[in-house]
Amino acid sequence: MWQLQVYDALLFDCDGTLADTMPAHYRAWLHVTGAHGIAFDESRFYGLGGRPTRDILATLAREAGLDLDLDHGVQQKEAAFLAQLDRVAAIDPVVDVVRRSQGRVPMAVVTGGHRAVCTRILEHVGIAAAFDTLVASEDTERHKPEPEPFLAAARRLGARPQRCVVWEDSDLGIEAARRAGMEWIDVRSFHTPARVSGP
């Protein structure tokens, strides 16, 4: 079992790690992709976990041969997600770690999502004040699985990468942690989100 005192900092992904948002995100994606006739399988959605919304939409549009207004599409998707925020629950084992660690070790949220949306999620589950910094998609040019987001968080916290532990729920996020030289805990080992059967 990992020991808190051996780490300089704890870094947490947001969606699917701190809060069980993934089903709501997928329903929001279906709202957007369905309007354009784009097929988006749920398994693929989970495989893209950690990538920014705009990048995912650009990929889907390119594959479908569509020229979409990406900014508008992103706004639609995020609005459709926020409309479901009251249905989102905390992932209690991870949030418990946050509450027990607050004030004892520096902590950051490192997300592929937008800062404003992530902040709303953290406020909803009651832990926004627990973190020393938030690295969102707007803060780095290269995203998970690249290590830059986690390395940026470590720099902000004055932490050595090799003395950071990352909590993640996606293959891309875990690969980013590995490339950053950090340890990681895979939330999927003890939490499985519900699957969505339709919009």
Question: DSSP 3-state assignment of 141?
Answer: coil
DSSP 43-93: HHHHHTTTS-HHHHHHHHHHHHT----HHHHHHHHHHHHHTTGGG--B-HH
Out of 8, 13, 139, 171, pick the active-site residue: 13
Contact 15, 111 (CB under 8 A): yes
Rounded distance between C-alpha atoms, residue 143 and residue 149, angstroms: 6
Active site residue 13: yes
Burial class (CB in 10 A: 0-12, 13-18, 19+), 21: buried
* Cα angle value 68/58/11 (rounded, 5°): 140
Q: Report the candidate in 89, 141, 107, 115 with the shortest Cα–Cα distance to residue 12.
A: 107
Q: Report the candidate in 147, 148, 196, 188 with the shortest Cα–Cα distance to residue 167.
A: 188
Q: How far is CA 80 from the centre of its chain?
A: 17
Contact 47, 171 (CB under 8 A): yes
Q: Which residues are catalytic?
A: 13
